[in-house]
Amino acid sequence: MTDPAGTDEPLIAGRKPCLVKLERGKRYFWCSCGRSRSQPFCDGSHAGTRFRPLMFVAEKSEEALLCACKRTASPPWCDGAHNNLQDTYEEASAEEIAAMQGAKLVQRKDGKAVLDGGAYVLTPDARRDQHEGTLGWQRLIGAGDGAKHISLFRCAAEPGVSPWQMHPHSEAALFVVSGKGTVQIEDKRFDAGPETGIFVARGEAFRFDAGEPMTIVAAICPQVDAPAFVDGPTGHCDAAIKTRVAPVDHAKAQVMADRFFQVLLDKSTGSHEITQFIGEVPKSRAAMHRHLYEEAIVILSGRGMMWTETKKAAVAPGDIIFLPRRQSHSLECTDAGGLRLMGAFYPSGSPAINY
C-alpha cells in the first residue's frame, strides 16, 4: 500500500479492482481508507482517520469488481479510475514479455485464428455472405462460435433499400464501418456515415437505404442465429430511447492514461444490454488483463497482435476479435500511427473496467 500524497488521501490498496462474489441480500463494508488488510473490505484499520467504511447490501448474487485504488467515483464499484493512476496504460512488464516469448503464432484457417479459451481473430470474407435482396450478411460471432450473449453480423448493403429486419427480443447496436446512407427505424430516418453508432430497441424494425455501398456491423444481444427479415415496420417505436445515432466526437472522448475511448451507446442512451465504444490505442503492448464482459472488437485502422496466455494472432483493419468473458488478453498495437477499434460488449458498462 502506498500513500502518494502523504496526507489525508486514502491509500492505494491496489492498482486493479478486487474480484469478489457477492450474495444477494448480504451486507458488506467496503474499505474507503485503503488501510485494511482484508481488501476490498473493512477490517477496522480506519480507526483514527477521517474515513469510514461504506456499507452496502448486494442486490443480486454475482461476481463484481470492487475498487481497491480508492479513487473510484462510484464506490464501492471499480469505475476504471485505476487506469489513470499513472500517465501510461499499464504495459506488459519485461517479465511478462519474457514469460510469453514462446506464445504460438496461430495462422488463419478459413479466416479464423483460434486462441486460448475460445477467443478468436477472424478476417471476414465477403464471399461467405448470404444474400437477402440488396443485403449481404454473415454471422461473425454467435452461439456456434462459443459466444453466450452477443452475436455479431457483417452487413453489406448495396445501393438501394435493403429488406426490413426485426428482432423481437434483442437490441441491435449497429456501427457503420464504411459508406453513407440512411438507416430507417420504423418511420424515422437517420443519416449514417462512417464510424456512426445506431441503436435499435427490441421489437423495432429497421433497414438500410444506402446511397453507396455500406458495410455495417450489427451487434445483437441477446444473441440470435441469423437476421430476422420481416415484411415492413411493426408500428412499435420505443419513445424512451433518446439517442438513436451516435457519431464519433473527439470532444466526447474520455482519457484513460495515454489512451482514449468514446462510449457511443450504453445504458445512458437506452441500450440496456450492449455498450458500444470507439477506442484508440497508441503503439504499445498492454499488460495481460481481463474483463467481466463478453466482447466483440472490430479493428478499424492500424495493425497489431492479439495475445492470450499461450497464443497470439496478427490483426489488421477489418478483422474482428471475439473475447469470452474473463479471458486473459492483451491487444498490442505495432503501428507508430496507433490502432483504432470499435468494441461492443455485454453486459453494458464501462470499457475502462478491467482486472
User: How many residues line the site for ligand FES (CB under 6 A)?
Assistant: 11
**What is the nearest approach in angstroms of ligand FES to the Cβ of residue 347?**
17
Stretch in the footprint of ligand FES (CB under 6 A) among 77-85, 93-101, 208-216, 314-322 = 77-85
CB–CB of 184/232 below 8 Å? no
Strands 104-105 and 311-315: parallel
Nearer to ligand FES, 72 or 151 (CB): 72
The verdict on 79 binding ligand FES (CB under 6 A) reads yes
Binding ligand FES by CB under 6 A: which of 32, 36, 39, 72?
72
Stretch in the footprint of ligand FES (CB under 6 A) among 69-77, 197-205, 274-282, 287-295 = 69-77
Nearer to ligand FES, 17 or 351 (CB): 17
CB–CB of 214/137 below 8 Å? no
Based on its alpha-carbon atoms, the radius of gyration of the chain, rounded to whole angstroms, reads 22
> CB within 8 A of 122, min separation 6: which ones?
111, 112, 113, 140, 319, 320, 321, 322
Stretch in the footprint of ligand FES (CB under 6 A) among 72-80, 186-194, 268-276, 329-337 = 72-80
If DSSP codes are grouped into helix, strand and coil, which group holds residue 114?
Answer: strand
**What is the nearest approach in angstroms of ligand FES to the Cβ of residue 65?**
7
**What is the nearest approach in angstroms of ligand FES to the Cβ of residue 146?**
28
Binding ligand FES by CB under 6 A: which of 11, 33, 42, 78?
78
CA 353 to CA 355: how far, in whole Å? 7
The verdict on 64 binding ligand FES (CB under 6 A) reads no
Write the burial class of residue 220 (CB in 10 Å: 0-12 exposed, 13-18 middle, 19+ buried). Answer: buried
Stretch in the footprint of ligand FES (CB under 6 A) among 65-73, 181-189, 319-327, 336-344 = 65-73
CA 323 to CA 59: how far, in whole Å? 27
Amino acid at 334: T
Nearer to ligand FES, 66 or 135 (CB): 66
CA 238 to CA 1: how far, in whole Å? 49
Nearer to ligand FES, 40 or 343 (CB): 40
CA 3 to CA 35: how far, in whole Å? 10
CA 198 to CA 119: how far, in whole Å? 26
Residues 13-52 that bind ligand FES (CB under 6 A): 17
**What is the nearest approach in angstroms of ligand FES to the Cβ of residue 12?**
8
Residue found by looking up cell 474480484 in the block? 19
Residues 189-248 that bind ligand FES (CB under 6 A): none
**What is the nearest approach in angstroms of ligand FES to the Cβ of residue 267?**
18
Omega prior to 75 cis, within 30 of 0:
no
Binding site for ligand FES (CB under 6 A): 17, 67-69, 71-72, 78-82
